[in-house]
């Protein structure tokens, strides 16, 4: 098994803090995928969890490689920006498809859809 390179203790502690926090938030989002009953609740939970968890892990990666190479290594920002932009888009496209399919088969839609019709 390969081992991490030498970095300062402060860098290691910060890296591990962000890494474990990001992974735990991702796990919480995915547990929501497992536990919540309705499709719309599941979509909500997993999207929120993975977005924030990605930010945590990518920030840990930025801190680690900056400390390892002694220069700002900002590659992780690309992943943060990309996931932050695409996660709501895929959520919206997927929920639209689900609303369409539920309406088509006369199944219950999202909670607010019965009160005010979409324009």
Partner 1 sequence: MSAILVWGILCAQSLLGLALACSTFRILRGPRAQDRVLGFDSLYVNAMLLVLTFGIQSGSLLYFEAALMIAVLGFVSTVALAKFLLRGEVIE
Q: Closest approach of Cβ 90 to partner 1, in Å?
A: 4
**Cα distance between residue 13 and residue 47, in whole Å:** 28
Q: Closest approach of Cβ 71 to partner 1, in Å?
A: 12
Q: Which residues contact 10 (CB under 8 A, 6 or more apart)?
A: none
C-beta closer to partner 1: residue 57 or 116: 57
Residue with tokens 């300062």: 8
Q: Closest approach of Cβ 70 to partner 1, in Å?
A: 13
Residues that bind partner 1 (CB under 8 A): 2-7, 9, 12-13, 15-16, 19-20, 22-24, 26-27, 29-31, 33-34, 39, 42-43, 46-47, 50, 53-54, 57-58, 60-61, 64-65, 68, 73, 75-76, 78-79, 82-83, 86-87, 89-90, 93-94, 96-98, 100-101
Q: Closest approach of Cβ 111 to partner 1, in Å?
A: 16
Tokens representing residue 67 in the block: 């400390």
How far, CA to CA in Å, does 31 sit from each of 42, 45, 48, 80? 9, 8, 12, 22
Question: Do 84 and 65 meet the contact criterion of CB atoms below 8 Å apart?
Answer: no
């Amino acid at each position: 098994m390969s081992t991490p390179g030498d970095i300062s203790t402060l860098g290691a502690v910060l890296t591990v803090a962000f890494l474990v926090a990001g992974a735990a938030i991702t796990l919480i989002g995915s547990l929501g995928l497992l536990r919540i009953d309705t499709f719309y609740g599941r979509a909500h939970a997993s999207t929120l969890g993975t977005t924030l968890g990605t930010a945590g892990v990518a920030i840990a990666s930025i801190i680690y490689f900056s400390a390892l190479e002694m220069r700002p290594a900002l590659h992780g920002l690309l992943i943060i920006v990309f996931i932050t932009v695409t996660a709501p888009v895929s959520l919206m496209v997927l929920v639209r498809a689900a609303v369409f399919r539920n309406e088509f088969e006369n199944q219950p839609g999202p909670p607010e859809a019965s009160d005010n019709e979409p324009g």
